[in-house]
Amino acid sequence: MELAYFTEGQVLFREGDPADSVFRLLSGAVDIIRELDGDPILLGTVSAGQFIGEMGVVENRPRNATARAAGKVEVEILTPTEFFDQIAGSPRAVRELIQRLSRRLREADDRIVNDERRSARTHGILKAADRQAALGSYLAAKNPWLQRQLPAPLGLAAPFVVGRGPVAREGLPPLQPDLKLDDTVPFRLSRNHFMIEKRDGSYYVRDLRSRLGTIVNGEPIGDHFRGDEAQLRAGENEVIAGGVESPFVFSVFIA
């Protein structure tokens, strides 16, 4: 492993580069950016103590975002072997990595179960637990732009999927969204963008491997960040789909 230093604006790696190393951020902050039809889109910011680029190494695929220093940055650069050796000595890191990969495997099972639930809802059949959840918790638009598509709050009957409506020649997404919104090129919203689910009495937002990620109460989640999900607190929460300046800004109220 080696130490490296970057100044504001310098690039650690670019979208499309081979995933041949993992960066551990020792100090400073790093912006995660994706190109959208030639325009840079800020997805979120990684803070000190986090790994950057680890999922590309684990999944053996090219970088799917650009990492750029937001100020003075110090990082530790690890080879794939060094990364796996390091997390092997950290039970917490191993647990987080296993949980993240497990959630991705679980998505395949969720698709079957959720499609069955949505089919039941289509025919007006709601379980008692869903009715109770829908009474107190809801999702609403948080800005005037989105209110044109979502003029009234929607009760949450978890699981609840938010995604983009299809355009010409697009096939079906893996999950049928409960809330389907219109978007224009360049798309901020993925066909399946995020899911609100309930486990052990608590609500969570899970990014569904969207292209531009999701931000929950200021915490970015998705492929490019530490985790794929964030717990919602009681009361109002802010969820942004599609990067920092995306117009898809939701208020999620948990009773």
The pLDDT, as a whole number, for residue 128 is 42
pLDDT tens by residue, 124-142: 434 444 444 444 799 999 9
For residue 237, give every residue at least 6 positions away whose Cβ sits within 8 Å of its Cβ, in sequence order, or none. 205, 216, 217, 251, 252, 253, 254
Two tokens at 115?
């499609």
- Domain 106-254 fold: Tumour Suppressor Smad4 (2.60.200)
Both structure tokens of 165:
């409506």
Average pLDDT, integer, range 78-102:
81
Which backbone phi and psi does 241 adopt, to 5 degrees?
Answer: -105, 120
Domain ranges (residues) in the chain = 2-89, 106-254
Instruction: Look at residue 131 in the predicted model and tell me its pLDDT.
Output: 44
pLDDT at 205 over 90: yes
Residues 6+ apart with CB under 8 A from 66: 11, 13, 14, 15, 32, 33, 34, 35, 40
Which pLDDT does position 133 carry in this prediction? 45
Domain range 2-89, CATH architecture? Sandwich (2.60)
Token output for 219: 């915490």
For the segment 216-240, the average pLDDT, to the nearest whole number, is 94
- Cα–Cα distance for residue pair 195/241, rounded to 1 Å: 11
pTM above 0.75, yes or no: yes
Sequence length of the chain is 255
What lies within 8 Å, CB to CB, of 84 at 6+ separation is none
